[in-house]
Amino acid sequence: MPHETIADLLLARAGDDHPGLLTRERSWTWGEVVEESAARAHWARELRTEGPFHIGVLLDNRPEYLFWLGAAALAGAAVVGINPTRRGAELAQEVRHTDCALLVTDRAGAALLDGLDIGVAADRFLVVDTPAYAAALAPYTGRPAEAPDVTATTRMLLLLTSGTTGVSKAAICSQGRLAALGAANSAKYDITRDDTCYCPMPLFHGNALMALWAPALTAGATIALPPKFTASGFLPDVRHFGATYFTYVGKAIGYVLARPATPEDADNRLTHAFGTEASPEDAARFLERFGCRLVEGYGSSEGAGMLRRVPDAPTGALGMPARPGVRIVHPATRETCPPAELDSYGRVRNPEEAIGEIVDTEGAARFEGYYKNEAADAERVRHGWYWTGDLGYVDGDGYFYFAGRSGDWIRVDGENISALLTERILRRHPGVVAAGVFGVPDPRSGDQVMAAVEITEGTAFDGLDLPAFLEGQEDLGTKGAPRFVRVSHALPTTGSNKLRKKEMQLDGWRTDDPVYRWEGRGRPTYALMGDDDKAALREEFLANGRGRFLP
């Protein structure tokens, strides 16, 4: 019988001598993981005060993070995973908004919070790398694991959304939903007790929790935990731990592929990985180089599990609906979109009709909401439907494809251009580590396509020969080529290595990074914009009465 809560899953692992957690320094059996979690759960219950039982955790990927996840599950508390890349007012707002009763961190995290108004008193900080922490925890060690009053509806997580498209929100995830995802995803991603699951994604992110931690707990697989992801450390870690599975985002895959190839790259035990935003070309290169299959999926912190994998699905397809209510609709009319007409390159020939928002007409009841954010709840649930905010289309055989976020449409000369398609094309270039594409205002009307590309140190923009590369991409439409290209060796990212596209869109061409602008007609050429060029462009906006649209 499936376990209904994360607490049930942990209690079932009590006494289990199979390896549960590995770091470079030591290992713990699953039974020991449960014992460590139980000690912290007893401590947390004694520290509980009136109000929400929320435990903020501000740590890199270290064993204490996993122990406190388990502690929260057994104590009936919710973990608020705090992003350590946040700073100042933004960091303070996230902690204060989520009403943390306790804050688990280390000396480095405490220094980040020093002087900020976060609503947590200093005596409610549990600083894990201090003698005082070890002394306070010691009396609780050895107590039996138990989970009184924990049910499937008990709040388990407040997942702060990545903030790539705006201010982050705290998505609620109950123990029941996370346990169900653990069962579903361990089967969906073929995670068994024999797997070693390498976790390069930060533990405050839904990807790490829903696609690795909960499935590994369900299957009794081993979790290998590095403090954080590095491209140079990825393969040595994978070999050291004997990892067979990992989770990712596309930018991290780009970083790994940018490392110099060696004949020994395939000397590892990796078989498969799950993630999002890796291009089909990167997936093919990763399989050829490392012998590991990348499984692209669709999901979110708020509404995972809408699509199911289908064997032998077309390249780039996400799968088919997991339930009848999942469909693609026009947001304005709520009419179901017709199938996409695809050309020989898989490019959508009827985007205006075929591309719409992915919705679940039966998903409103499954959506658990955002913490203290009725406006965000109302945006997600309208007309009794759950609206994902993501774009997609369906082919003639019923396979779903991702077409970007709702803000990824760029209106050029009266046509909708997919930012995602141009991103994928740019990422085919061997010199491009990562790419973000977005719309910036045109000085006369509509938008223009702008790209931000990250290239490796020692590479120059001219060396990319981007005009010739774009000209050779037969699936790039005439309006899809970027008119502006921002070039960087380190584009701004979230703590989970996703590009901060909203921030870059707001910057537009007014950034300290070099920006190149398309010149002339016909075959594209790019020229570096200087201060005079940016000033002249600003005057062009003002002359056309579009000053209010200046990025």
Listing DSSP states for 414-461 in one string gives: TEEEEHHHHHHHHTTSTTEEEEEEEEEE-SSSSEEEEEEEEE-TT--H
Please give the backbone phi and psi of residue 95, each rounded to the nearest 5 degrees, phi first: -70, -45
Q: What is the pLDDT of residues 399-437, one digit of tens each?
A: 998 887 776 778 776 667 778 889 989 999 999 999 999
Q: How confident is the model at residue 521 (pLDDT cuts 50, 70, 90)?
A: low
What CATH superfamily classification does 322-398 receive? Answer: Luciferase; Domain 3 (2.30.38.10)
CATH architecture of 6-296: 3-Layer(aba) Sandwich (3.40)
Residue 189 pLDDT > 60 = yes
Mean pLDDT (whole number) for 54-64 = 97
Q: How confident is the model at residue 156 (pLDDT cuts 50, 70, 90)?
A: very high
Q: What is the pLDDT of residues 259-269, one digit of tens each?
A: 999 999 999 99
Write the single-letter amino acid at 283.
Answer: A
| Distant-in-sequence, close-in-space partners of 93: CB < 8 Å, separation ≥ 6 | none
Q: What is the pLDDT of residues 341-355, one digit of tens each?
A: 988 777 788 888 898
CA distances to 422, 441, 475, 481, 541 from 478, rounded to whole Å, are 11, 18, 9, 7, 24
Percent of the chain exceeding pLDDT 70 equals 95
Predicted pLDDT of residue 520: 67
- Which residue in 438, 423, 439, 485 sits closest to 277, CA to CA? 423
| Cα(498)–Cα(192) distance, integer angstroms | 29
Contact 173, 197 (CB under 8 A): no
According to DSSP, residue 319 is labeled: B
Residue 165 pLDDT > 50 = no
Q: Which residue has the higher pLDDT, 480 or 411?
A: 480
According to DSSP, residue 115 is labeled: T
Predicted pLDDT of residue 164: 43
**End-to-end CA gap in the chain:** 56
Mean pLDDT (whole number) for 168-177 = 92
Predicted pLDDT of residue 502: 84
- Which residue in 65, 140, 129, 55 sits closest to 98, CA to CA? 55
Residue 451 pLDDT > 50 = yes
Q: How confident is the model at residue 139 (pLDDT cuts 50, 70, 90)?
A: very high
* Burial tier of 325 (Cβ tally within 10 Å: 0-12, 13-18, 19+): middle
Q: Which residue has the higher pLDDT, 322 or 117?
A: 117
* Burial tier of 318 (Cβ tally within 10 Å: 0-12, 13-18, 19+): buried
Q: Which runs of E-coded beta strand occur in 107-230?
A: 125-127, 155-160, 170-174, 196-198, 222-224
CB atoms within 10 A of CB 519: 10
- Which residue in 290, 294, 183 sits closest to 247, CA to CA? 294
Q: What is the pLDDT of residues 196-247, one digit of tens each?
A: 999 999 999 999 999 999 999 999 999 999 999 999 999 999 999 999 999 9
- Which residue in 212, 396, 383, 400 sits closest to 306, CA to CA? 400
Determine which of 3-12, 134-143, 324-333 has the lowest per-residue pLDDT on average. 324-333
- pTM, two decimals, is 0.82
| Distant-in-sequence, close-in-space partners of 348: CB < 8 Å, separation ≥ 6 | 340, 341, 342, 354, 355, 393, 403, 418
Residue 460 pLDDT > 50 = yes
Q: What is the pLDDT of residues 68-127, one digit of tens each?
A: 999 999 999 999 999 888 888 888 999 999 999 999 999 999 999 999 999 999 999 999
415-549 has which fold? Answer: GMP Synthetase; Chain A, domain 3 (3.30.300)
Q: Which residue has the higher pLDDT, 230 or 540?
A: 230
Same fold, 322-398 and 415-549: no
Partners of 321 in beta bridges: 307
Residue 545 pLDDT > 80 = no
Q: How confident is the model at residue 166 (pLDDT cuts 50, 70, 90)?
A: very low
Predicted pLDDT of residue 410: 82
Please give the backbone phi and psi of residue 202, each rounded to the nearest 5 degrees, phi first: -65, 145
Mean pLDDT (whole number) for 20-49 = 98
Residue spans of the domains in the chain: they are 6-296, 322-398, 415-549
Please give the backbone phi and psi of residue 499, each rounded to the nearest 5 degrees, phi first: -65, 140
Average pLDDT, the chain: 90
